[in-house]
Structure 1
């Protein structure tokens, strides 16, 4: 803090330049601190930057420095612990500190808008919920559920809070017309979560011995200790989280819960808000910019006791942080694939260290990196080997479909099993990790396949609505009537996507409701919540979907899971491909038999003797992980080594390759450490994407410090070059996707 006009301000500005910029304080401006937003002249523009430091000297003459234009805030928006986290992320991922710091703020604050709490429309019940009201809404179950939910909140709930737990504005408006609810605008009040008499609304469930042991391990110390909570699917990890958070709240501390995708937030938020009386804030991409700002402010001002967020939530200020939970820690969604390519799981560990609080990494299929850390004693390893309550693990069956006659991709024995399951009044899940109607459209006469003009990829055929679609660059076009090469009209779909599978299953089971869950069917706001609500009625149905179904969902009436195409991930060119396939199969299998009814999983395969499938079928994830670790050790690949990946893309094929050759030669000429291997450049597995040619250069080492030393040298060299127009390069440290 300073009011001295002789000081200099080091400002982080959101530009790719990896340097700070010196400015002079404005006239008569006191109380400037690191972490505060400032508006600064930067060339012809005025930009929002962050005060990174206040110093007594500068490398530039004072008369040549410009003054800051404006200071929007009275206090820092980015506290010291988040500044420290951003400095580490900027250094580790070799990214501009200015862009990293601005990423820690919601979009509205990056644009310079005020950090203020807005008026909010709050919905509440207009009369007591008695038997007559309940009876009048019997034919409107969604309205009744919304009314029952609001009845537990006498002060009312805002529209975003209601939407986050699955109640749309349409439902609220219908209740308002019936004079069952009322809406009023109120000023938000920053009431500390610690001012609530009791943070808990509902009593905890009774834990089994394994769950209780895990909870004790989490709570044994309030200081930093990373914990792998290795619990089989359906083992009740969420209940352990809830009770650990309860203890954290009672100690006057906040909890941060990271989930991999927004698809998980409605059910997670609903369960957490049912349990806790303190405010539970949310941050994810499904919210508007204004809603995200309000969630961020609630967390940063300690109004919310719990923050549930996707990966970007790791940068949210929590002044009383006492616990971090990373659910489904193995999930690839925690890795940012553009701009600052950070891994939120790894940043969460560093943040817990800064806050000196426990961090729990939960998964039924832990990543190999986390498993190795646990086995080497860096993390505590807590296991829950049996399912909660009366549920038992599902049985897994490998169905050999070699030489079998398949009906549109389904074996006869699988169809019979699905029929008998539905006849018993139970639900079936069919997993197919491919969107659209068919992966490609081929000419039967000449073999021409419909390709994307901008990518080295086939166009996917969609039927609802009818069109051809590239899922890599979003190019869309009409379905052709004839082959552009030979003009034949004998065009036919090849392969099977969820839309085609939906059509086939509707023909097989015309009297059974079929629910498709993929990115196309859930684009509409609240679509996923409404779909899941239908499943939770318990009526017999077929649930068909992609990997969106694999993550954390609880379907108590699903007793049969069918994995239609298990072979697609067994022979990936990505060294992580088999690990991801194994995790996905076990996660999908874990949706079966999660309640009292026994579950069964059928995996259709042309490779029933594949060692990985054999281990997965016996549900031996630990053995499966051991086999992968042995391969990685021999090849010195993560987690038995470290990897970084330079990527280039350019409209001209040779420019990206030439730039990477330049970098390769520089590194080999400077190299004094034989522990780092430089491999490439080579074309990316999909060389052309969005009309741009892509090349890759790998750096591999078994010593992290040696690798980062070479990355520093390469990045400095790249920053000094004037690149051809249209050429872009990126650096991905610890890449999760090699393709």
Structure 2
């Protein structure tokens, strides 16, 4: 008779599979259990595959029989310490995600695939206890040894590679070793994303910046919103806060929303902290580079860690501060897999580590603003631009019934020409890439549709292609209608390519720099494209929202927003908020230097009350009105919301799954003023990549009411036998598309 309980050493592991439970294994054969610790990676057999799992617990009992042994240790190094495991467990619970998939998401690809951590090992020179007790002048009679001692006392441990760069010779190192003052330690290499620049001068703080810094207590947890107008000097506040953290021997974590912002952020940080170890983490890095940076951060060798969304899950043993720049940006929310919000996790991470968290934005998200106005977050403000810069003048240019040339009014084109003739720079914002968003037949009305998505194909004339910007389907550009064979084919609407052609034709003596996904696909492309603008030469910048945030271009004195109306009439309740943020961020690119700025906003509906409120009273009044509207509609952030999503090639299966899920949830918690259900309803983009997408919306007065219900429906949904149907819980969903 088989025993129901096994009395032996059992390994409880997080395996990267879509099941919301842990799995028990026996220790690898021939490996002493004393060598096993929580946080290590092991190879395990699972359903005929060999997977990398993470050891979470060592127990003596298992409710399962016939356990298999793990196949072996990936490496002996503990990658996830106690604090990191606590954060990842919280993520799995809150976002209703399988813990194994959370750990897989936290690891860079190379480590997820089982590459040993010591593959990138580097030798690090550090002070012994005796060395740490010496003053910097202790070895005055041995200048080379003293210089090396000073570096280690001032900047901490140094890699062998970096010591060579600094010119410290092996003789001085051996001499300090013989004295028992230094020792070598093995650890990961800290990559150098950009060459360190000369130390930049440190500007004096204005009174607003000084007040913000004084309000942040670096010795304990606090969550603060820094609402600073564009150009008010938020980055300088970040740098001062990082300096305080480094002086106390701890690590600083800085999150930025876009890969494109990383090079300029790195450039500014390396010029301020040229002797510090800086690790960058984002999807634009090669697998090896990203693994090196991750290990340097997790091992404590990196003093400053900069990255996009996924960096929030990186273990940081010496964490001293968490800073989220442009906290309102939608890219901080993961839209597939583990659907976490890096902005919200920053607050959880700071609370767990008992360190301050600073969320910065000129246009705060309604969630963060709601927390600040309700007293959960400290609300810090910087209302004035730094230095001599003045806020730009904003003017609305009505376009209804106006003769437009490729989407531009004559008045706007005249102002662009005047700006360039003065030797200044102009920026044109168009949030549509490609030549035209649709292609149509004038005779029969045919439209070029994507065969896999509920969307039109965008015309890219230079590549002579029609592309879907949702699934990346491509086909050659047609010269005649495939339906009636007419040659009367028209491009409808405008995009960045079409506008580039017009502007290059009208202002041919000046460079036209187009910035969108098509022109910035290669590594460092955005940085290279913007180089002429940073040099101050007269030029015309044209692009999508990649130009809207974070760029400091002091010679830009004119900003043109070609179409301000798109988000004001969307079915997505978040669209007006995003429109307001985008318009304010784009407008903030004008007049950031000593020259005054002007913003021209083209609109077919200049009298729209939200647009008028934004332009006349600013984003603060605009956002507060949206908060009042959300409260009336019982929508986030006033209420909590989650979506149960389902997608399938057969739409009725997805609808039926969600209908049954709603019946199941209503049997547990009937609809009431405290909890409400909506759906199933089609997503705003109903079909994508050949799969029909629906969602069930659940709102509640608090997350405490919502979370137990979501856990129950996940357990119910895991019994789904239709392998062609995919489902997911999206807690605090940001997209209805």
Please indicate the TM-score interval, normalised by the length of the shorter structure.
Answer: 0.7 to 0.9
The 1-side partners of 2:118 and 2:563 are apart by: 51
**Is 1:489 aligned to 2:491, yes or no?**
no
Kindly provide the CA deviation profile for residues 647-694 of structure 1, in whole angstroms up to 9, marking residues without a partner as x.
Answer: 111111211111111111111222257221111111222222211111
Deviation at 1:721, TM superposition (A): 2.4
Kindly provide the CA deviation profile for residues 63-89 of structure 1, in whole angstroms up to 9, marking residues without a partner as x.
Answer: x11112101222311111111111011
**Is 1:226 aligned to 2:230, yes or no?**
no
Match of residue 212, structure 1, among 210, 213, 216: 210
The 1-side partners of 2:337 and 2:25 are apart by: 26
The 2-side partners of 1:535 and 1:189 are apart by: 41
Q: How does 1:284-303 map to 2 (within 5 A)?
A: 284-303=282-301
Kindly provide the CA deviation profile for residues 703-723 of structure 1, in whole angstroms up to 9, marking residues without a partner as x.
Answer: 212211221121111112212
**Is 1:243 aligned to 2:240, yes or no?**
yes
**Match for residue 74 of structure 1?**
76
The 1-side partners of 2:655 and 2:189 are apart by: 57
Kindly provide the CA deviation profile for residues 442-478 of structure 1, in whole angstroms up to 9, marking residues without a partner as x.
Answer: 1111111111111111110001211100111111001
Alignment partner of 1:322: what SS?
A: strand
**Match for residue 162 of structure 1?**
none
Match of residue 272, structure 2, among 270, 275, 283: 275
**Match for residue 398 of structure 2?**
400
Instruction: Decide which moves more: 74-83 or 5-14.
Output: 5-14
Q: Structure 1 438/412 Cα, relative in aligned 2: closer, same or farther at 3 Å? A: same
Alignment partner of 1:570: what SS?
A: helix
Alignment partner of 1:646: what SS?
A: strand
Q: Say if 1:237 and 1:362, in contact at 8 Å, map to a contact too.
A: yes
Kindly provide the CA deviation profile for residues 509-541 of structure 1, in whole angstroms up to 9, marking residues without a partner as x.
Answer: 111110000000111222111111121111111
**Match for residue 179 of structure 2?**
none
Q: Say if 1:233 and 1:364, in contact at 8 Å, map to a contact too.
A: yes
Q: Say if 2:190 and 2:278, in contact at 8 Å, map to a contact too.
A: no
Deviation at 1:156, TM superposition (A): 4.2
Q: Say if 1:365 and 1:583, in contact at 8 Å, map to a contact too.
A: yes
**Match for residue 20 of structure 1?**
22
Match of residue 94, structure 2, among 92, 95, 112: 92
Deviation at 1:43, TM superposition (A): 2.6
Q: Say if 1:426 and 1:559, in contact at 8 Å, map to a contact too.
A: yes
The 2-side partners of 1:490 and 1:45 are apart by: 56
Runs of 5+ unmatched residues, structure 2: 1-5, 123-161, 167-184, 192-196
The 1-side partners of 2:601 and 2:563 are apart by: 8
**Match for residue 445 of structure 1?**
443
Alignment partner of 2:417: what SS?
A: helix
**Match for residue 37 of structure 1?**
41
The 2-side partners of 1:92 and 1:223 are apart by: 24
Q: Say if 2:26 and 2:69, in contact at 8 Å, map to a contact too.
A: yes
Q: How does 1:33-432 map to 2 (within 5 A)?
A: 33-61=37-65, 64-116=66-118, 118=120, 155-156=164-165, 201-218=199-216, 220-276=217-273, 277-432=275-430
Q: Say if 2:363 and 2:585, in contact at 8 Å, map to a contact too.
A: yes
The 2-side partners of 1:36 and 1:240 are apart by: 38
The 1-side partners of 2:670 and 2:423 are apart by: 68
**Match for residue 544 of structure 2?**
546
Kindly provide the CA deviation profile for residues 7-41 of structure 1, in whole angstroms up to 9, marking residues without a partner as x.
Answer: 21111100001111111123324231111101112
The 2-side partners of 1:154 and 1:613 are apart by: 57
Q: Say if 1:462 and 1:499, in contact at 8 Å, map to a contact too.
A: yes
The 2-side partners of 1:561 and 1:29 are apart by: 65
Kindly provide the CA deviation profile for residues 113-170 of structure 1, in whole angstroms up to 9, marking residues without a partner as x.
Answer: 11025389xxxxxxxxxxxxxxxxxxxxxxxxxxxxxxxx99549xxxxxxxxxxxxx
**Match for residue 679 of structure 1?**
678
**Match for residue 138 of structure 2?**
none
The 2-side partners of 1:548 and 1:191 are apart by: 31
Alignment partner of 1:618: what SS?
A: helix
The 1-side partners of 2:198 and 2:474 are apart by: 50
The 2-side partners of 1:547 and 1:673 are apart by: 40
Q: Structure 1 393/156 Cα, relative in aligned 2: closer, same or farther at 3 Å? A: farther
Alignment partner of 2:35: what SS?
A: coil
Alignment partner of 1:472: what SS?
A: coil
Q: Say if 2:190 and 2:293, in contact at 8 Å, map to a contact too.
A: no
The 1-side partners of 2:539 and 2:45 are apart by: 61
**Is 1:435 aligned to 2:433, yes or no?**
yes
Give the structure-1-normalised TM-score: 0.88
Kindly provide the CA deviation profile for residues 611-632 of structure 1, in whole angstroms up to 9, marking residues without a partner as x.
Answer: 2211221352111011101110
The 1-side partners of 2:313 and 2:189 are apart by: 22
Q: Structure 1 686/189 Cα, relative in aligned 2: closer, same or farther at 3 Å? A: closer
Match of residue 501, structure 2, among 481, 503, 509: 503
The 1-side partners of 2:617 and 2:549 are apart by: 17
Q: Say if 1:5 and 1:25, in contact at 8 Å, map to a contact too.
A: no
The 2-side partners of 1:288 and 1:117 are apart by: 15
The 1-side partners of 2:700 and 2:652 are apart by: 28
Deviation at 1:56, TM superposition (A): 2.1
The 2-side partners of 1:73 and 1:362 are apart by: 39
Give the structure-2-normalised TM-score: 0.88
The 1-side partners of 2:559 and 2:78 are apart by: 51
Alignment partner of 1:407: what SS?
A: coil
**Match for residue 709 of structure 2?**
710
Alignment partner of 1:660: what SS?
A: helix
The 2-side partners of 1:618 and 1:704 are apart by: 36
Q: Say if 2:77 and 2:117, in contact at 8 Å, map to a contact too.
A: no
Q: Structure 1 602/666 Cα, relative in aligned 2: closer, same or farther at 3 Å? A: same
Aligned residues: 666
Alignment partner of 1:720: what SS?
A: coil
Q: Say if 2:300 and 2:318, in contact at 8 Å, map to a contact too.
A: yes
Q: Structure 1 395/154 Cα, relative in aligned 2: closer, same or farther at 3 Å? A: farther
The 2-side partners of 1:673 and 1:446 are apart by: 48
**Is 1:612 aligned to 2:588, yes or no?**
no
The 2-side partners of 1:192 and 1:521 are apart by: 30
**Match for residue 458 of structure 2?**
460
The 1-side partners of 2:338 and 2:292 are apart by: 24
**Match for residue 148 of structure 2?**
none
The 2-side partners of 1:214 and 1:50 are apart by: 41
Q: How does 1:521-560 map to 2 (within 5 A)?
A: 521-560=519-558
Instruction: Decide which moves more: 18-27 or 483-492.
Output: 18-27
The 1-side partners of 2:511 and 2:67 are apart by: 69
Alignment partner of 2:530: what SS?
A: helix
The 1-side partners of 2:25 and 2:420 are apart by: 70
Alignment partner of 2:388: what SS?
A: coil
Q: Say if 1:117 and 1:294, in contact at 8 Å, map to a contact too.
A: no
**Match for residue 140 of structure 1?**
none
Alignment partner of 2:439: what SS?
A: strand
**Match for residue 196 of structure 1?**
none
Q: Say if 1:567 and 1:606, in contact at 8 Å, map to a contact too.
A: yes
The 2-side partners of 1:469 and 1:275 are apart by: 43
The 2-side partners of 1:287 and 1:410 are apart by: 38
The 2-side partners of 1:73 and 1:347 are apart by: 28
The 2-side partners of 1:46 and 1:525 are apart by: 33
Q: Say if 2:188 and 2:292, in contact at 8 Å, map to a contact too.
A: no
Runs of 5+ unmatched residues, structure 1: 121-152, 158-186, 194-198
